[in-house]
């Protein structure tokens, strides 16, 4: 034991602060959150230190999970919401990645004004998300928003973007794509710059077409960056709450799992913490399963390249 | 001799192939067109907020778009003059919270990232895995337990409480990035430092940290933005008193139930965006190197 500590003490000393903070402020709340899912806790029966009121909630077993997983619409129509969350997540990440890769390829050429282009293209990342949300909400306004003014000017139909229709989902996806492309672009640009130039020269010597070079040099070279940023992108987008909440509000057409948990948490006098936590645990489970499958799939593919 | 010269020429020829001069005119035009269109899309919303910020509220909602419409600096003077809530106080609160978060989060993730990059210790793998898992749980749902803990620690309603909460969101990602960045710094440097009599902490602080500037710049940027633009925790954890609000919470005064004061909101947004853009401008030249090495090795 003593030798063990002697060998590792500085490593642990460096890690300790983070472990303590994470344990106190994440793992403990997480455990409490999981515990809440087996109770009927809400605003009316939670312990209230200000009013000096003790907790009166009680355990209800798996009832919350059964209610949510039944897909009942008074519990947020879980399966429909899950489907919408998947459309939202994969839609956003697909465009983040393809547009980000496209722009990274353009920026990786020798082109005049490259630094300026790069600064302008990263700008959406630098603006705080709630500001961007206001900006887009303003632009998407059905009457005076600039988007509809342009559409009217060229004679196209001008939908009510943020109303009770699937246009609202489309609109928030557009906003989130705008927000998320710079991160992907920067990460992929770094990846592109780390691919050795002689690989391209060798491919060119062998008579590879531009498409073949892209397919057989660029994509494999980006593989490890891509796999990381796509996994992170999916996790972040799945739980992306401010964009939807600030732009569309509690609109059932843009409802994803996280926004519903938040609605349950904050809306009305009831403040159903139990159902909100149940959603939280289900979100965590879906992502854990996904991450496990993803890593395994990557490991298998790794032998192909 | 002749052999050398000819091989040099081959090298130069292939080198030239990647240069601008060899690209056809059409390809150049296409390249610039693509970049210009993308830049316009990226900049336009911000530009439009800027244009709107000079218009009076009533002009901001007219159904024919104009660049200038009774534009003036009135919105700015009213906001900075405190007519629309204690804007400058909120601004100060936000700056304080964001800077504290940046310093604490970057320091903590640097030590953790360095330990994870250099030392093999039991529990390292599960530590890194737990950082990934931590990002999967929707933080909105942690608000009630966190609220209780902050009360128990006596930090509820204080800036420090909020800073700690922001650190929990920023540290996992920053640690990943910095570990990746430290991995690219050769360990020979550490060994040389140890031979010269530095402690492991001395090596970290005096040798490795200065070399990790790009990585530190990117993580600072990320941590700053995390705290600067956060809404949900700030509205839940700061006391309702007007002078303890951050900007993200305070700005809600412009969004009333039925009507939004778009002109004022736009002006306030520009004022909020300026510090973020300044921070961004300071770190942007490090972004590509700093972020990619983290993500590649992540």
Confidence label for A111 from pLDDT (cuts 50, 70 and 90): confident
Mean residue pLDDT across chain A: 85
Instruction: Tokens for B109, please give them.
Output: 């993730």
Mutation to test the A interface, candidates B137, B162, B222, B283, most A Cβ within 10 Å? B137
Task: Give the per-residue pLDDT at B294.
Answer: 55
**Is residue B113 located within the same domain as residue B187?**
yes
Using an 8 Å CB-CB cutoff, list chain B residues near A294: none
Tens place of pLDDT per residue across chain B (298 aa)? 334 333 333 334 344 444 545 678 888 888 899 999 999 999 999 999 898 888 888 777 777 777 777 778 888 888 888 777 788 888 898 999 999 999 999 999 999 999 888 888 888 888 888 888 887 877 766 877 888 888 888 887 788 888 988 888 888 888 888 888 888 888 888 888 888 888 888 888 888 888 888 888 888 988 998 888 887 788 777 776 777 788 888 887 777 656 778 888 888 889 888 888 888 888 877 877 666 665 544 3
Q: Does the pLDDT at position A125 exceed 50?
A: yes
Backbone angles phi, psi at A16, to 5 degrees: -55, -50
**Which residue from B38, B164, B231 is facing A103, i.e. has the nearest CB?**
B38
Best of A12, A18, A19 to substitute, by most chain B Cβ atoms within 10 angstroms, is A18
Residues of B in contact with A95 (CB under 8 A): none
Is B65 within a domain? Answer: no
Q: In CATH, what number is assigned to the domain containing residue B185? A: 1.10.3720.10
Contact state of B292 with A193 under an 8 Å Cβ cutoff: yes
One domain, residues B45 and B92? no
Option in A11, A126, A190 nearest B288 (CB): A190
Q: Considering only CB atoms, which chain A residues are within 8 Å of B31?
A: 106, 109, 111
Q: Select the residue from B138, B154, B162, B249 to test the A interface by mutation, using most A Cβ atoms within 10 A.
A: B138
Q: Which of A284, A125, A298 is nearest to A228 (CA)?
A: A298
B27/B157 same-domain check: no
Residue B276 maps to a domain: yes
A210 Cβ neighbours under 8 A, 6+ residues apart: none
Say how many Å lie between the first and final Cα of chain B, rounded.
47
Interchain CB distance below 8 Å, A239 and B138 = yes
CB contact at 8 A, A58 and A39:
yes
Does any domain span residue B61? no
Total number of domains in chain B: 2
In a domain, B70, yes or no: no
Maximum Cα–Cα distance across chain A: 79
Same domain assignment for residues B118 and B47: no
Nearest-CB residue to A30 (from B111, B137, B255): B137
Ramachandran class of B241: left when φ > 0, alpha when ψ lies in -120 to 50, beta otherwise = beta
Mean pLDDT of A98-116: 89
How much of chain B is in helix, strand and coil states, percent to nearest 5? 80, 0, 20
Is B295 within 8 Å of A200 when comparing Cβ atoms? no
- Predicted confidence at residue A48, as pLDDT, reads 72
Is the same domain home to B136 and B218?
Answer: yes
pLDDT score, position B290 = 67
- pLDDT for residue A18: 85
A253-287: pLDDT as tens digits:
888 988 888 888 876 667 788 888 898 889 989 99
Are A273 and B144 inside 8 Å of each other by CB?
yes
Is ipTM strictly over 0.90?
Answer: no
Structure confidence at residue A269 (pLDDT): 61
Query: Is residue A85 classed exposed, middle or buried when 0-12, 13-18 and 19+ CB atoms within 10 A define those classes?
Result: buried
The per-residue pLDDT for B297 is 44
What is the pLDDT, as a whole number, of residue A100?
A: 94
Distance from the B2 Cα atom to the nearest Cα atom in chain A, whole angstroms: 22
Which domains are assigned to chain A? Answer: 37-302 (1.10.3720.10)
B275 vs A154, B95, B98, B99, B235, CA distance in Å? 38, 9, 11, 11, 21
* Residues in chain A, total: 305
Smallest CA-to-CA distance from A119 within B43, B48, B217, B272 is with B43
**Least confident stretch, A1-5, A241-245, B53-57, B230-234:** A1-5
B113 in a domain, yes or no? yes
Neighbour count for residue A39 (Cβ, 10 Å): 20
Give, in order, the Cα–Cα distances in Å from B261 to each of A171, B171, B251: 22, 36, 11
Residue of B nearest to A237 (CA): B136
pLDDT at position A173 over 50: yes
Interior CA angle at A229 toward B124 and B214, to 5°?
A: 75
Closest CA to B28 of A45, A167, A295, A112: A112
Range scoring the smallest mean pLDDT among A46-55, A198-207, A223-232: A46-55
Residue B85 in tokens: 């809530």
Q: What integer pLDDT is reported at residue A303 of this predicted model?
A: 39
Looking at the complex, report in whole angstroms how far the Cα of residue B142 sits from the nearest Cα belonging to chain A: 6
B126 shares a domain with B12: no
Question: Does residue B132 share a domain with residue B37?
Answer: no
Which of the 8 DSSP states describes residue B244? G
Asked, for residue B200, whether it belongs to a domain, the answer is: yes
Within this chain, do residues B214 and B84 fall inside the same structural domain, yes or no? yes
Inter-chain contact B284–A8, Cβ cutoff 8 Å? no
| Region class of A279: left (phi > 0), else alpha (psi between -120 and 50), else beta | alpha
B86 and B161, same domain (yes or no): yes
- The residue range of the domain holding B8 is 2-53
Residue A121 to residue B136, Cβ atoms within 8 A? no
- A289 with A272: CB under 8 angstroms? no
- Is there a single domain that holds both residue B94 and residue B29? no
Please indicate, yes or no, if residue B47 is contained in any of the structural domains. yes
- Is B83 within the bounds of a domain? yes
**Tokens representing residue B145 in the block:** 């337990």
Residue B281 and residue B149 share a domain: yes
Chain pair A-B, CB pairs under 8 angstroms: 288
Say if residue B8 is in the same domain as residue B120. no
């Amino acid at each position: 034991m003593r030798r063990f500590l002697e060998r590792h003490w500085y490593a642990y000393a460096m890690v300790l602060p983070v472990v303590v903070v994470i344990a106190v402020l994440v793992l403990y709340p997480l455990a409490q959150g999981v515990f809440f899912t087996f109770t009927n806790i809400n605003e009316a029966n939670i312990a209230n230190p200000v009013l000096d009121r003790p907790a009166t909630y009680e355990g209800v077993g798996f009832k919350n999970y059964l209610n949510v997983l039944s897909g009942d619409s008074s519990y947020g129509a879980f399966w429909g919401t899950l489907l919408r969350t998947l459309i939202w997540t994969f839609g956003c990440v697909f465009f983040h990645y393809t547009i980000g890769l496209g722009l990274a390829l353009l920026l990786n050429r020798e082109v005049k004004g490259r630094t300026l282009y790069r600064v302008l293209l990263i700008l959406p990342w630098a603006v705080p998300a709630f500001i961007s949300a206001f900006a887009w909400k303003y632009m998407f306004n059905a009457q005076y928003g600039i988007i509809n003014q342009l559409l009217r000017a060229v004679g196209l139909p001008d939908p009510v973007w943020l109303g009770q229709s699937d246009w609202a989902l489309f609109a928030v996806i557009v906003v989130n794509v705008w927000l998320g492309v710079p991160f992907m672009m920067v990460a992929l640009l770094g990846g592109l710059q780390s691919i050795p130039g002689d690989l391209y020269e060798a491919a060119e010597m062998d008579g590879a077409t531009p498409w073949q070079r892209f397919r057989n040099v660029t994509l494999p070279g980006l593989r490890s960056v891509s796999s990381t940023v796509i996994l992170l992108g999916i996790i972040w987008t799945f739980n992306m709450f401010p964009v939807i909440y600030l732009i569309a509000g509690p609109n059932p057409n843009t409802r994803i799992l996280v926004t519903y948990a938040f609605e349950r948490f904050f809306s009305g006098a009831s403040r159903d913490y139990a159902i909100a936590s149940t959603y939280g645990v289900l979100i965590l489970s879906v992502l854990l399963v996904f991450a496990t499958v993803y890593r395994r799939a990557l490991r298998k593919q790794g032998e192909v390249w | 001799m002749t052999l050398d010269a000819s091989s040099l020429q081959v090298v130069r020829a292939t080198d030239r192939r990647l240069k601008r001069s060899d690209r056809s005119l059409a390809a150049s035009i296409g390249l610039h067109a693509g970049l210009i269109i993308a830049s316009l899309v990226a900049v336009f919303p911000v530009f439009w907020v800027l244009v709107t910020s000079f218009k009076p509220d009533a002009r901001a909602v007219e159904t024919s778009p104009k660049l200038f419409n009774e534009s003036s600096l009135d919105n700015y003077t009213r906001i900075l003059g405190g007519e629309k809530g204690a804007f400058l106080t909120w601004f100060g609160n936000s700056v304080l919270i964001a800077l504290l978060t940046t310093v604490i989060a970057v320091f903590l993730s640097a030590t953790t990232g360095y330990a994870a990059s250099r030392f093999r210790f039991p529990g390292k793998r599960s530590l890194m895995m737990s950082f990934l898992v931590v990002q999967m749980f929707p933080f909105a749902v942690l608000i009630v337990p966190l609220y209780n803990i902050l009360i128990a620690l006596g930090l509820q309603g204080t800036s420090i409480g909020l800073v700690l909460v922001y650190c929990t969101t920023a540290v996992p990602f920053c640690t990943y990035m910095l570990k990746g960045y430290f991995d690219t710094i050769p360990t020979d440097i550490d060994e040389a430092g140890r031979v010269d009599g530095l402690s492991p902490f001395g090596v970290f602080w005096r040798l490795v940290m200065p070399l990790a500037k790009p990585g530190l710049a990117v993580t600072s940027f990320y941590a700053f933005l995390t705290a600067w633009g956060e809404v949900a925790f700030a509205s839940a954890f700061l006391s309702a008193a007007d002078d303890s609000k951050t900007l993200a919470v305070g700005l809600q005064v412009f969004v009333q139930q039925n009507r939004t004061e778009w002109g004022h909101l736009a002006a306030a947004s520009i004022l909020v965006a300026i510090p973020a853009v300044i921070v961004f401008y300071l770190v942007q030249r490090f972004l590509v190197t700093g972020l990619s090495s983290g993500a590649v090795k992540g």
